[in-house]
């Protein structure tokens, strides 16, 4: 565990250190729509594939914090049950390796703190790793953390229609990403960040919008339109919002994210929590601007 140095390059966060003693990984860069967020590659190794009956034996959260500092949180975990030989053959972790380790519940307070409001990146994370985390939280009596966004690189590869197989190893080979210790949580988490960066670089037009727009596309909430980026371009933008808010006959319209096309007035009725976020310091729009617009709307 521990932190390693970072440097900045052309608006991206660059991590060039080795990950947990593996071979040096290429620069891990996250930027553009991810700037200003804690961005963490997330991966688990487990005793098997069923989150209800199997348990976690290793976890990794690797990436960068909002200030650019490197986060490297990884550990073996004692599942309090035998690790099947077929699982050990995949990830190389045996009963002897985890014998003196603590249970996953003891790691949860720190993990929940890191994951909350972070952008979580993982390969098949939505259907596998996140389900394991949810059930472990429930078993231990913790609330499931709420990340700012989850980016599943498996879903992303399918949405971008990248040719070939979409297994992590296959995609990494396609982008010349070397996973020296595949199926170890830290190496896979780091490789997933590299994979996301590579896809962002090879499909720049698809990542020109906001983080919420990427979430909409990955969750399938954009109908038949899987492209990213701003729309509602015929409406006049509200000054100082970079086109994220626009004037319409019905009022001020949101031109990005999951509520794209709704007015601020509608949002007060359907999702007050999202409106509170728009008015907060973490919003991509000046909180003063949103507050002023809401105040004018009430008058």
User: In this predicted model, what pLDDT tens digit does every residue of 23-79 receive, in sequence order?
Assistant: 334 444 445 788 889 999 999 999 999 999 999 999 999 999 999 899 999 999 999
pTM (global) more than 0.85: no
Question: What does CATH list as the number for 7-211?
Answer: 3.30.420.10
For 226-295, list the strands marked E by DSSP: 245-248, 251-254
Domain boundaries along the sequence of the chain: 7-211, 231-298
Residue 192 has pLDDT above 80, yes or no: yes
Where b means 16+ CB within 10 Å and e means fewer, 196-224 reads bbbbbeeeeebbebbbbbbbbbbeeebee
For 205-250, list the strands marked E by DSSP: 245-248
CB 275 within 8 A of CB 267: yes
270/262 Cα distance (integer angstroms): 10
3-state helix, strand and coil shares in percent for the chain, rounded to the nearest 5: 35, 15, 45
Averaged pLDDT of the chain: 82
Least confident of 53-62, 99-108, 130-139, 254-263: 254-263
């Amino acid at each position: 565990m521990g932190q390693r140095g970072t440097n900045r390059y052309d608006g991206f966060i660059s991590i060039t250190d080795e990950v947990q003693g593996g071979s040096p990984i290429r620069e891990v860069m996250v930027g553009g729509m991810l700037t200003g967020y804690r961005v963490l590659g997330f991966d688990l190794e487990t005793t098997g594939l069923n989150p209800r009956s199997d348990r976690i034996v290793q976890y990794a959260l690797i990436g960068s914090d909002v200030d650019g500092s490197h986060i490297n949180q990884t550990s073996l975990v004692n599942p309090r049950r035998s690790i099947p030989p077929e699982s050990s053959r995949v990830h190389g972790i045996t009963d002897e390796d985890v014998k003196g380790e603590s249970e996953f519940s003891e790691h949860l307070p720190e993990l929940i703190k890191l994951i909350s409001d972070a952008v979580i990146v993982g390969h098949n994370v939505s259907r596998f790793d996140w389900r394991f985390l949810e059930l472990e939280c429930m078993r231990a009596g913790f609330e499931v953390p709420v990340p700012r966004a989850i980016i599943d690189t498996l879903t992303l590869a399918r949405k971008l229609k990248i040719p070939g197989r979409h297994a992590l190893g296959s995609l990494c080979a396609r982008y010349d990403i070397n996973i020296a210790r595949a199926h170890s949580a830290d190496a896979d988490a780091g490789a997933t960040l590299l994979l996301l960066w590579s896809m962002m670089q090879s499909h720049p037009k698809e990542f020109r919008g906001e983080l919420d727009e990427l979430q909409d596309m990955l969750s399938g909430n954009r109908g038949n339109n899987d492209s990213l980026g701003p729309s509602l371009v015929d409406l006049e933008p509200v000054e100082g919002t970079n086109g994220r808010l626009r004037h319409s006959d019905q009022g001020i319209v949101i031109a990005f994210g999951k509520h794209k096309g709704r007015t601020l007035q509608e949002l007060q009725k359907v999702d007050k929590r999202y409106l509170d976020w728009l008015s907060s310091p973490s919003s991509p729009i000046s909180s003063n601007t949103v507050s002023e617009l809401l105040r004018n709307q009430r008058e």
